[in-house]
Amino acid sequence: MGKSRLPHPGNEKEMTFWEHLDELRGTLWRIIIALLIFSIITFAFKEVLFDHILLAPKSKDFITYRLFCHLGKVLSIPSLCIDPSHFNLININLAGQFISHMNISLITGLILALPYILWELWRFIKPGLTEKEIRSSRGAVAITSFLFLAGVLFSYFIATPLMINFLGGYEVSPAVTNQISLTSYVSSITLMTLLMGLLFELPVLVLFLTRIGIVTPAFLRKYRKYTIIGILIVAGVITPSPDIFSQLVVAIPLYALFELSVVVSTSIHRKKVNEEKELAG
């Protein structure tokens, strides 16, 4: 049987294919167990999970709405005082509430377990890296986890409330009342949260693409104008409101992420150029 280039953790000898596969299996099992533990914990705290977290953006007392209303009074913009309680949540499926409880528990468990999952994946691939690659990747788990959780928080406190307020109160006619199904509400929030968490990983993606030579700082700067247009479109989709303030609240952090990506790409590209010069010299 052929040899794997990944040595067993803590051992300098090369692993066989079956040893490597066994190590991968152990890593996956630990990830699954961690995910189940966090999911079971969140499942047990149903009232906290739903009443104080998931359904909180539906209340006008939610912290984001109170801050917006205060800002609206300061800026004399009454439209910033938002009341999202103009629609009712209903359940139309026999197992709808239980399925929603299961789904949100799994997703919340995944979010909470993410740092550990990333650490397990890093622990698995680390033995196959060179000392130089390990040094350059130091802190990758912490940074990746931080960016994802920052995206989750941004979605929960900014993007999701604005989306709920607009879509929950939008009507084509006063004759049609909004009665939103629980599964629709839960799926919309979880999808937005996961998408924003992934979107906030943009600097990490740019770092990787720069390191392998696909993206350069010059490329990012060249398409900066197009990126701004794209960000405004994304902000418009996330918060489909005629209120320009709401769109800017979403667009500005996304643009800041892009500029951070440019800085990261510039730093990595400069290091690559210097290393190439040293090798050439």
The residues spanned by each domain of the chain are 3-200, 201-281
Cα 65 from Cα 57, distance rounded (Å): 8
Q: What is the largest CA-CA distance in the chain?
A: 77
Cα 254 from Cα 245, distance rounded (Å): 15
Q: What is the pLDDT of residues 211-235, one digit of tens each?
A: 888 888 889 998 899 999 988 888 8
| Token pair 């770092």 in the structure block, residue | 207
pTM: 0.81
Which helix (H) or strand (E) element contains residue 59?
none
Cα 216 from Cα 20, distance rounded (Å): 35
Cα 236 from Cα 259, distance rounded (Å): 20
What percentage of the chain carries pLDDT values higher than 90?
A: 27
CA triplet 111, 112, 113: central angle to 5 degrees?
A: 95
What percentage of the chain carries pLDDT values higher than 70?
A: 91
Confidence of residue 30 (pLDDT cuts 50, 70, 90): very high
Confidence of residue 15 (pLDDT cuts 50, 70, 90): low
CA distance to 88, 153, 179, 240, 245, per residue, from 169 (Å) = 10, 23, 10, 12, 18
The better pLDDT of the pair 167, 43 is held by 43
Contact 108, 190 (CB under 8 A): no
| Token pair 């489909």 in the structure block, residue | 240
CA-closest candidate to residue 42, choices 86, 117, 100: 100
pLDDT of residue 214: 87
CA-closest candidate to residue 235, choices 245, 250, 224: 250
Cα 177 from Cα 175, distance rounded (Å): 6
